[in-house]
Structure 1
Amino acid sequence: MTKITTLLFDLDGTLINTNELIISSFLHTLDHYFPQSYKREDVYPFMGPTLHETFSSIDEERTEEMVARYRAFNIDNHDALVTEFDGVFETIRTLKENNFKMAIVSTKMRDTVIKGLKLTNLYQFFDVIVGLDDVTHPKPHPEPLQKALEALGSKPEEAIMIGDNYHDIDGGKNAGTLTAGVAWSIKGKEFLQTFHPDFMLDTMPELLDIVKVGAAEK
C-alpha cells in the first residue's frame, strides 16, 4: 500500500460533536413550518446532505427561508451545544507533530467550519479548509476532496477521507482516496459499514495505527 501522507476529515460528527446542535437546529426550523410534525429521529437522515438538498426535498418553495432560519439558530446556539469527541485533539495534534498533511472537507459553510475548529482548539492544526461555499458540487462529488488534495500537494492514493456519513465514504471512493468511517456516527457503525469503508475507527486514536505513527509517538 502507498504510504499515507494526507488525511482529509469531515468535521460535524467526526471531529466535533455537533449532533445536538444540528438536531436542535432542524427541529427549531421544522417546528416553525410544520408544528409538532417532526421528532428527533426523524431528522437523522438530514444529517450529512447540504441544507438546500434537505429543505428543498421538504418544501421547495420555502427552501431559502428555511435554510436562513436554520443557520440563524445554529450560529446563535453554536458555542453552547458543540463539544469535541474523546481523543480527537490529542490524535490531531500527534498527526500534525508527525508532519501529516491535513484538511477539513465539509458540507458546512467555511465560516461555520472555522467557528467549530476554533471553539475546540483544532483550528491551529489545519492549513486547508474546503467548505460548501468553496465548491460547486458538495460531497459525495469528488470536487471538494480534489480541491483539498490539490491545495495540499497530495495524490489521492496517499490520502484517507475520514467521516461519519456515507457522503464521506462515497466522496473518498469517487476521488480515489482510501476511506475510514467512525463508529461514533449518530447513524451507527452498522449503517456506515454498508458503504464498505477501507477502515472503521472505534476510537480516533486508532487512526495513528493505520497511518503507522509508532506507539512511542502517541
Structure 2
Amino acid sequence: MKYIDLIIFDLDGTLVDSRDDIANAVNFTLKKIGLKEKSISEISSYIGTGIEDLIGKSLGNKQEVLLTRALSVFEKYYRKHSTDNSVLYPNVKEILEYFKNKRKVIVTNRNYGFALIALNKLGIYDYFEHVVGGDDIGCMKPSSCPLDRSMNRLNTNKEEAIIVGDMDIDIVAGKKAGIITCGVTYGIGKKEDIIKAKPDFIIDDIIDLKDIIH
C-alpha cells in the first residue's frame, strides 16, 4: 500500500456511467441537423477528449460545415438531459466515503458546467476539493497540465498523488505529471488500451482502491 495525500479522479467512465445520456444527446443532435443516428457503442468510442471532439467525430465528413450548429444543439439539449439515465458505478459512493479524509479532486475533459451538474445531481459534489473541466484552463488530458494545476493549487507532492481513470489518456496524463496511475477496467475506455498504457495499478472495481491507498 502507498501513502496518498491527493486522489485525482476522472469523471465519465470512472465515477459516472454517462454513456446513455451522452449517446442520446448526440443522436438528438444528429437527427436535428438531418443526419443518421449512431449506435451507443460507436458514440461511446468518441467519448473522453471533450465535447468538440465528440461532436466532430460523430459528424464525420460533415464536421466542417455543421460543427458550430451541432455543438449549439448538443449543449442546449445535454444541459437539460445530462443526468436522465446517468448513474454512479458500483461502490463509488462507498469508496468516496471511505476516503472522506483524503483530499480528492475531479479532472475531467467534460465541460466544467456539465461536470458540476452531474456531481450535484448524483450527490457526490461535496466529496471534492475542486473540479477541473475540459473548458477550464485551455488544456485537457492527455496533457499533464490540468493535473499539474490541481497539485499546485493544493500544494501536493507528486509522490503522494494518484490519478484514477478508465482511459489511456488518464494514464498518459498521470505519467507525464510524474504521479502514480491507476486504470479501471469497468468504464467507457477499452481494457486493452488501459493495459497498453501500463498504469502502476489496474483494478476491476473501484472499491479495490482500498488495497492500494492508505
| 8 Å Cα contact 1:164/1:184 also seen in 2 | yes
Alignment-mate amino acid for residue 169 of structure 2: H
Deviations 1:156-210 (A, max 9, x none): 2211111111221111111111111111123332332121111112111100110
TM-score (norm 2): 0.90
Alpha-carbon distance change, 37 to 24 in structure 1, aligned in 2, over 3 angstroms: closer
**1:78 matched to 2:82:** yes
Distance in 1 between residues matched to 2:83 and 2:43, nearest whole Å: 21
Q: Pairwise CA RMSD of aligned residues?
A: 1.9
Distance in 1 between residues matched to 2:92 and 2:190, nearest whole Å: 19
My pick for the range that moved more, 33-42 or 198-207, is 33-42
Distance in 2 between residues matched to 1:139 and 1:195, nearest whole Å: 14
Alignment-mate amino acid for residue 112 of structure 2: R
**1:181 matched to 2:190:** no
SS in 1 for 2:171: helix
My pick for the range that moved more, 139-148 or 73-82, is 73-82
Which residues of structure 1 form unaligned runs of 5+?
A: 213-218
Which residue number corresponds to residue 19 of structure 1? 19
Deviations 1:113-157 (A, max 9, x none): 111111121111111111123211111111111111112221222
TM-score (norm 1): 0.88
Tell me how far 1:211 sits from its aligned partner: 0.3
User: Given the alignment, which residue of 169, 172, 185 partners 2:171?
Assistant: 169
SS in 1 for 2:182: strand
Distance in 1 between residues matched to 2:64 and 2:158, nearest whole Å: 36
The runs of 4+ residues in structure 1 deviating greater than 6 Å are none
Distance in 2 between residues matched to 1:198 and 1:31, nearest whole Å: 42
Tell me how far 1:2 sits from its aligned partner: 6.4
Which residue number corresponds to residue 50 of structure 2? 50
Tell me how far 1:34 sits from its aligned partner: 5.4
| 8 Å Cα contact 2:51/2:111 also seen in 1 | no
**1:65 matched to 2:72:** no
SS in 2 for 1:132: coil
| 8 Å Cα contact 1:11/1:104 also seen in 2 | yes
Distance in 1 between residues matched to 2:22 and 2:204, nearest whole Å: 22
| 8 Å Cα contact 2:109/2:140 also seen in 1 | yes
User: Given the alignment, which residue of 93, 96, 120 partners 2:97?
Assistant: 93
Tell me how far 1:37 sits from its aligned partner: 5.5
| 8 Å Cα contact 1:28/1:70 also seen in 2 | yes
**1:148 matched to 2:133:** no
| 8 Å Cα contact 1:31/1:38 also seen in 2 | no
